[in-house]
Structure 1
Amino acid sequence: MSQDKYLREIKEAVAFFWKTKSKQLVSSVDKSNRGAVVGGKQLDGFVSLLKKVAEDSGVPDSCIFTKNNYVPGFFRSSKNWDFLVVTPSKKLLAAVELKSQVGSYGNNFNNRAEEAIGSAVDLWTAYRENQFPNQQAPWLGYLMVVGKDARSIAPVKNNESIFPVLTEFREASYIDRYRILCEKLKLERHYTSTALLWTSGENEYGNVTENISLESFLKFFVAYLKSFSDEF
């Protein structure tokens, strides 16, 4: 896959993210709760990107799921993933989780980390317990979009009142912490591949680091899907 094959779709996904976020901020002042509903759609552009990548890789539309993607768990009944690829024989081929954070970094970073770790552990334990019989391990992806601003690039104070934290968290900003999270999620094989994208506006975005770039994420995803072409 060429480096810029999906450049237009990525740009459109980032622009859609900011346009939807702006609508959410405007809607949040009313009493209809529409702001919360719109907020859940911020990453729909990235869902569309994944759908196109899957279709280009030979996956039929009927095998791509972008709504009500409930997958059985072990510690809980089920988890609604953002994007699934399921073969005609009902094998879970791939599951992707999409998350974003712009602002309120101190309040939400730990929540994002706990969600990412918990979702992966739950699915892999369910897989071990044969909730997905007669199939190979699925491809798990985690894509995070984080705002780049004065708050997210500034060093964050660590809580070390009793024990010291790992050295990599010293002088680390919230973007650094997301980079560490995404790298370790992949290193520990909680996710097959992870991607971290920063953005500060509709036309302003980039990869935090190459080893967890969106382009490499999509490249691995394409290679995996094509390796299972006989399933379709």
Structure 2
Amino acid sequence: MALDLVDYERKACEAVQAFWGNRVAARQKQIESGKADQGERAGVTGGKNMDGFIALVLDIVRANGLAHAEIHQSRAVLTLPGYFRPTKLWDLLVIFKGELIAAIELKSHVGPSFGNNFNNRTEEAIGTAHDLWTAYREEAFGKQPRPFVGWLMLVEDAPESRSPVRDSSPHFPVFPEFKGASYLKRYDILCQRLVQEQLYTTAAVLTSPRSAAETGEVSDMSSMTSLKTFVTSLAGHIAAEAARLS
């Protein structure tokens, strides 16, 4: 079965250009209106910064056999039932013939504050997946094969995200792979373990500097958490489901 990866590298470059460009435009718009938020928040309150990656996912779904699937992007139709809470809002849902085909989270992390936000993102990613799979076990989505559950994080490539980080653990030692690891390395470890523990079908961490607004520069941290691994896994799942449900 030949998979169509829809020229994902070019589209990823365009996506990061749009990501950084949208942040600058949102900040400038707020400044001009006289209602600017403080710090980096001004670049995110305009929303839709990850739309380029959503477009990439849509292209993969359509190109690999599910062109007629329901692809939900609007907030009002992005909730799924949970087990530990009534509902969870996702970033993208793919539904076909009444079955949940894919649920995807697309997140970003821009400095200068990486510490608290990293912990928050980690807890959110783990909790979201555990809640979904428990709901799946309890047949919240009916009887169906396991859906594709994806998590993609875009992190600013900056000195603060690449510098070694010290931890304080006075009672028991932290795992050695975390000692002195930068926040980018920690995201890489997180994504690898999210997949190893079967919390996500695929989890990716991409890194991009602010200069990518002009260059489109985007990089991977490891092959296991790369964009190629993410899009290949998604395309394979979509193609298999298309064949099963045809």
- Determine the C-alpha separation between the residues in 1 that align with 2:226 and 2:200: 14
TM alignment of 1:45-56, pairs within 5 A: 45-56=52-63
- SS of the residue corresponding to residue 227 of structure 1 reads helix
**2:202 pairs with 1:193:** yes
Aligned to 2:235: 222
Higher relative contact order (CA 8 A, sep 6+): 2
- The match for 1:126 among 132, 135, 159 is 135
Structure 2 unaligned segments of length 5 or more: list them: none
Aligned to 2:192: 183
Coordinate RMSD, CA, aligned: 1.9
Aligned to 1:149: 158
Give the aligned residue type for 1:56: A
Structure 1 unaligned segments of length 5 or more: list them: none
- SS of the residue corresponding to residue 7 of structure 1 reads helix
TM alignment of 1:64-75, pairs within 5 A: 64-68=71-75, 69-75=78-84
Task: Write the deviation string for residues 53-104 of structure 1: whole angstroms up to 9, x where unpaired.
Answer: 111112135511112211110111111111111012x111111111110101
What is the aligned length?
230
Aligned to 1:138: 147
- SS of the residue corresponding to residue 74 of structure 2 reads coil
Aligned to 1:211: 224
- Determine the C-alpha separation between the residues in 2 that align with 1:185 and 1:71: 20
- Determine the C-alpha separation between the residues in 1 that align with 2:30 and 2:101: 37
TM-score using structure 2 length: 0.87
TM-score using structure 1 length: 0.93
- The match for 2:17 among 15, 18, 25 is 15
Q: Once superposed, which parts of structure 1, at least 4 consecutive aligned residues long, lie more than 6 Å away? A: none
